[in-house]
Amino acid sequence: MNSQPHNHPEVYAISPIDGRYKTKTQALSPYFSEYGLIKYRLKIEVGYLLALNKVEPIKLNLTENQINKIQQLVSNYSETDAIRIKTIESTTNHDVKAVEYFMKEKLDAVLNSNQIEYIHFGLTSQDINNSAVPLSILEAMNDIMLPILDEVTNSIKSHATNWASIPLLARTHGQPASPTMLGKELMVFVERLEKQIKTLKSIKIEAKFGGATGNFNAHHVTYPQVDWVEFSNNFISSLGLKRQQLTTQIEHYDELGNLMDTLARIDNILIDFCRDVWTYISFDYFKQQLKAGEVGSSAMPHKVNPIDFENAEGNLGIATAILNHLTNKLPISRLQRDLTDSTVLRNIGVPLAHIMIACSSILKGNGKLLINKDAIEKDLEKNWAVVAEAVQTILRSIGYEKPYEALKSLTRTNEAITKENMHTFIKNLNCEQSIKDRLLEITPHNYTGINPN
């Protein structure tokens, strides 16, 4: 095959994340691309070196100029730096060691021979990876994921508020059931999402930092007078992370699994929402605003397909599958470590990207929804049988003989239950007129129960 041109690389991307949906997911690139991962590794290495400078027995004695030069490795980080690190990696065949060598290369004229050897002092690569990746997750969650999840939740809440007073025929098992309120049905999703987002925000993202097998062996044997546990707790805390106290060579990923599980639950709630809205569109309860130039169906010009909610459902499904694999795989490692977590960990940005695509589609779909009151009211009017529950329950309260059975005989015929035959049934009941008058006031439109705020 001929070499591919690079002026439009997105058309050659294997994954739609970096191809078709690049404009929707590129905000995650600084956190989870190779470029981003290298930058986060540099952040940890630089932060660690500067933290060592404050440890009394080590006496790095870095000058203000040296500190500024070290900090510039992160603040001036560029694509050129990333490419240089990848070039070094092609020789070392070790991505974290390549970062260490890059730092030594850049700081060779800045630090003396004693100072420069404290780069990556006493660490294993997973001290860097298992701090860099959690930091990228923390910042991506705060900067990108939580805001877009809040935005989706608020878009549903906005519709719930605007449509709070609209009665709606409910369906249980797909069959007409006691009427409800459209606003309340949407608020069910809002409450579910808000609860899980609150859980998501409460999860403390953890890091591993403790040397080759988690015991600070090299640190302690070299500087036994230093409290390396306290040092590392403070260093990791300064990043906004929580340090795991007992580990092998790698993070045990249990809290990361908690995060993935919570995201998967949010995915499932959003899938549930998409399917309900899709169904309401199929009932003609919702119309969709038309946009000039858009095509609903390639063959049927009259159609406006609910593609936004279908797209969201598909992407949420992919995200959930990957999240479930991450949750199940990452906490399992043979003895003190094997390498299976490494390649899997690189995919954490993938489900987040699919969630972003889904959220963008839901926001677009929600923005196009128009309420079709006529269709909703007609459906209620066609289903007077749902009033039977109210009638038989009131009759039970006055001791009427076998009210359920009486309504069952009325409603389980092949004839449609209309306002007229329901009222005829009520008028022929052997009870006081005041009870009949009360029952005659009940309609599918007002039999909606309590509408919670």
383-440: CATH architecture: Orthogonal Bundle (1.10)
Paired tokens of 350: 């993938």
What DSSP string runs through 259-276? HHHHHHHHHHHHHHHHHH
Residue pair 48/99 in contact (Cβ under 8 Å)? The answer is no
pTM exceeds cut of 0.85:
yes
Q: Which residues pair with 168 in a beta bridge?
A: 180
Is 297 a catalytic site residue?
A: yes
Paired tokens of 26: 């590129």
Fold exhibited by the domain 126-208+245-372: Fumarase C; Chain A, domain 2 (1.20.200)
Q: Which CATH class is domain 17-123?
A: mainly alpha
Residue pair 73/108 in contact (Cβ under 8 Å)? The answer is no
CA–CA dist 189, 96 (Å, integer): 43
CA–CA dist 429, 415 (Å, integer): 20
CA–CA dist 203, 265 (Å, integer): 14
**Residues 6 or more apart in contact with residue 96 via CB below 8 angstroms:** 41, 120, 125, 128, 129
Higher-scoring residue by pLDDT: 413, 184: 184
Region 15-41: mean pLDDT is 95
Is the pLDDT confidence value at 133 over 50? yes
Q: Which of 75, 173, 302, 434 is catalytic?
A: 173
Residue pair 379/283 in contact (Cβ under 8 Å)? The answer is yes
Q: Which residues pair with 170 in a beta bridge?
A: 177
**CATH topology of 17-123 equal to that of 126-208+245-372?**
no
pLDDT at 1: 47
Is the pLDDT confidence value at 360 over 50? yes
Is 409 a catalytic site residue?
A: no
pLDDT digits 0-9 by tens, 73-94: 999 999 999 999 999 999 999 9
pLDDT digits 0-9 by tens, 164-198: 999 999 999 999 999 999 999 999 999 999 999 99
Q: Which of 165, 238, 297, 397 is catalytic?
A: 297
Per domain, the residue ranges of the chain are: 17-123, 126-208+245-372, 383-440
pLDDT digits 0-9 by tens, 274-314: 999 999 999 999 999 876 555 555 444 445 789 999 999 99
Region 407-422: mean pLDDT is 80
Closest CA to 330 of 312, 348, 314: 348
